[in-house]
């Protein structure tokens, strides 16, 4: 297997991995080492089943399960997809294309602001692994942008590092969606599907290998102990610094790309699919550092 960098700062692709087979100790070690170095890892030509995807992901930790699995409501994703997977495409439950401007896709537009998966709850999120089963041509849009928040932290002025070292950011799903431009009323049904109160995460986190990272993103909406406006202003100042072009890797999706990113030290953002003529079938696992395989809703209830 060969790891090849894709960006001057971070991100790489892994060549020679076979995900149709049970993960070997060598593959697990190679992926762990590459993720510690690069933060984002692309594996091409992963024409694998959902079962393969789940088996590979579980080699690195227990899964966060979609909350739909325990709400027993009508699925919001095509039923052919394994229930342990999050769906990030543009298809409805019957496999038909949902228009970008439709009411059904309104909430997903919040993902176009740089964010970190699952920062709006307290589970110990580690990685996400997104597989493109059907991807549009590059000219149609739908790229994913990534930021290395370790490099961002490294470049912060010393005065800013000292200022934020012990601060705790407030992460709030619905407030984050408002900041991202969500229009209209948030319905009671939406709140039942995503019933998360605000949670706190340190602005500066230290990775297991000792490197520090800035932890903000689209769900971060304030600072514990600060007036609301002051806290949001600091978050926005850090967000503006972090989203400079030099920190961004743009991933142009090919069919059967699997892209893995570390939620603890990267941010990512979707770019809009500019045409409703193309199908997009994207399936994601979210891997936790430790704990039982459960949904965020169940974990929240158990901790109450």
pTM of the predicted structure, to 2 decimals = 0.93
Is pLDDT at 149 greater than 90 in this prediction?
yes
DSSP secondary structure, 39-77, as one string = SEEEE------HHHHHHHHHTTSPEEEPTHHHH-PPPSS
Count of Cβ atoms closer than 10 Å to residue 117 Cβ = 21
Q: What is the pLDDT of residues 230-268, one digit of tens each?
A: 999 999 999 999 999 999 999 999 999 999 999 999 999
Q: Which pLDDT score is estimated for 181?
A: 66
Q: Which pLDDT score is estimated for 174?
A: 81
DSSP letter (8 states) at residue 274: S
Higher pLDDT among residues 161 and 94, named by residue: 161
Domains and CATH numbers, the chain: 2-303 (3.60.130.10)
293 close to 65: Cβ distance less than 8 angstroms: yes
DSSP letter (8 states) at residue 34: H
Q: Which pLDDT score is estimated for 197?
A: 86
Cα–Cα distance, 109 to 129 (Å, whole number): 20
Alpha helix locations (H) across the chain? 25-38, 50-58, 68-71, 149-155, 158-164, 173-179, 188-193, 228-242, 296-303
Nearest-5° Cα angle at 90, 174 to 141: 95
With a pLDDT cut of 90, the percent of the chain lying above it is 73
Higher pLDDT among residues 173 and 205, named by residue: 205
Strand order in the sheet with 199-202: 199-202, 168-171, 220-223
Least confident of 59-73, 193-207, 211-225, 284-298: 59-73
Q: Which pLDDT score is estimated for 69?
A: 47
Q: What is the mean pLDDT of residues 175-191?
A: 69
238 CB-contact burial (10 Å; exposed 0-12 / middle 13-18 / buried 19+) = buried
CA 158 to each of CA 150, 161, 165, 222: distance values in angstroms, whole numbers, following the listed order: 15, 5, 10, 21
Counted residue by residue, the chain has a size of: 304
Characterize the bridge pairing of strands 63-65 and 40-43: unpaired
Q: Which pLDDT score is estimated for 182?
A: 63
Dihedral sign for Cα 67, 70, 75, 79, please.
positive
Q: What is the pLDDT of residues 65-99, one digit of tens each?
A: 997 644 444 445 667 899 999 999 899 888 899 88
Q: What is the pLDDT of residues 188-206, one digit of tens each?
A: 766 776 778 899 999 999 9
Confidence of residue 303 (pLDDT cuts 50, 70, 90): confident
112 close to 271: Cβ distance less than 8 angstroms: yes
DSSP secondary structure, 150-180, as one string = HHHHHHS-HHHHHHHTT-EEEE-HHHHHHHT
Q: Which pLDDT score is estimated for 40?
A: 98
Q: 3-state DSSP call for residue 17?
A: coil
Q: Which pLDDT score is estimated for 152?
A: 98
DSSP letter (8 states) at residue 92: -
Structure tokens at 114: 């740089």
Q: 3-state DSSP call for residue 216?
A: coil
Q: What is the pLDDT of residues 34-54, one digit of tens each?
A: 999 999 999 999 999 999 999
């Amino acid at each position: 297997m060969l790891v090849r960098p894709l960006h001057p700062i971070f991100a790489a692709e892994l060549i020679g991995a076979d995900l149709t087979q049970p993960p070997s100790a060598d593959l697990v070690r190679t992926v762990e080492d590459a993720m510690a170095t690069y933060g984002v890892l692309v594996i091409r030509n992963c024409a694998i089943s959902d079962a393969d995807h789940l088996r590979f992901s579980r080699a690195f930790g227990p899964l966060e399960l979609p909350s739909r699995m325990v709400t027993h409501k009508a699925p919001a994703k095509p039923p052919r997809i394994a229930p342990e997977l999050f769906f990030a495409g543009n298809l409805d439950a019957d496999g038909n294309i949902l228009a970008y401007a439709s009411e059904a896709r309104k909430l997903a537009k919040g993902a176009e602001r740089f964010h970190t998966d699952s920062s709006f709850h307290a589970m110990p999120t580690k990685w996400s692994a997104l597989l493109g089963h059907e991807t549009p041509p590059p000219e149609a849009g739908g790229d994913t942008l990534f930021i290395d928040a370790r490099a961002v932290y490294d470049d912060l002025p010393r005065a800013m590092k000292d200022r934020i070292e012990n601060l705790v950011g407030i992460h709030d799903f619905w407030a984050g969606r408002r900041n991202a431009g969500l229009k209209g009323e948030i319905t009671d049904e939406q709140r039942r599907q995503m019933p998360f109160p605000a949670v706190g995460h340190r602005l500066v986190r230290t990775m297991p290998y000792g490197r520090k990272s800035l932890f903000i993103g689209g769900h971060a909406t304030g600072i514990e102990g600060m007036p609301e406006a002051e806290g949001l202003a600091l978050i926005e100042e850090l967000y503006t610094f972090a989203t400079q072009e030099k920190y961004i890797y743009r991933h142009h999706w090919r069919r059967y790309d699997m892209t893995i990113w570390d939620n603890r030290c990267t941010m990512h953002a979707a770019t809009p699919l500019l045409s409703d003529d193309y199908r997009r079938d994207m399936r994601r696992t979210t891997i936790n550092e430790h704990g039982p395989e459960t949904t965020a809703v169940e974990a929240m209830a158990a901790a109450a």
